[in-house]
Amino acid sequence: MFVELHLGTTDKPVINLLKRLGYGLVALTVGNNDIEEIPTFRKLVITQNSTWKLRMVKNFDIVSVIPWSRFVLNKFISDERIDLITINDINKNTLPTKPQVRAMAREGKALEIVINPIINHGEQGLAFLRDLINEYTTVDELMIVISQGINNVTDIRNPRDIIELIHVLSSINAAPLISDNPYELIVNAMYRRGVCT
């Protein structure tokens, strides 16, 4: 079973295609819409212009932050409300440093890589993705998850193609990055919020 943690639409063609490709769980980043066909979780994404949304954490299952500076990232690494640090663009100035990534692992934060906006940069994006994965997979205990970042049906890639792409770029087995790791992240987030006891 595959898990998509960055779904930005509830369109039926998207949901039906995700089901056919083997997705069994999704995290929705928009609206209060429910998806009947696939178990759905609510994901709050915090950006530089939306930090005020942190007050609404109780209404969401997963909370992610897209860092806009390394200084701000330091604050979010130790924030118990945050589950994920998300990288969704080629910006080396906001990437977590090795010490920050080790701190993320100690604090139980996962690193999410949203690949569609990254690989849309062509060769530069693929090189960035390769370097990112090679750099961060060396950190013990760091949970890495790969999301596609789906907003419409043309954004959907076969998860097996993603596994193969990551393997070609970095020679690692990427299957857990889009199945086991995101599933475990959801379970951990539910426990942390007291939903599961």
> Which pLDDT tens digit goes with each residue over 46-61?
999 988 888 888 889 9
Candidates 36, 61, 78, 74; CA nearest to 185 is 61
User: What digits encode the pLDDT tens for the residues 162-187?
Assistant: 999 999 999 999 999 999 999 999 98
Residue 170 and residue 161 in contact, taking contact as beta carbons nearer than 8 Å: no
Is the pLDDT at 32 greater than 70, yes or no? no
Question: What pLDDT is stored for residue 91 in this prediction?
Answer: 79
22: left (phi over 0), alpha (psi -120 to 50) or beta: left
pLDDT bucket at 81, cuts 50 / 70 / 90: very high
Round to whole Å and give the CA distance between 167 and 174.
6
Amino acid code (one letter) for 179: S
pLDDT of residue 62: 94
The pTM (predicted TM-score) of the whole model is: 0.92
Left (φ > 0), alpha (ψ -120 to 50) or beta: where does 109 sit? beta
With a cut of 70, say whether residue 140 has pLDDT above it: yes
> Strands 40-46, 62-65: parallel, antiparallel or unpaired by DSSP?
parallel
Q: Is the pLDDT of residue 31 over 80?
A: no
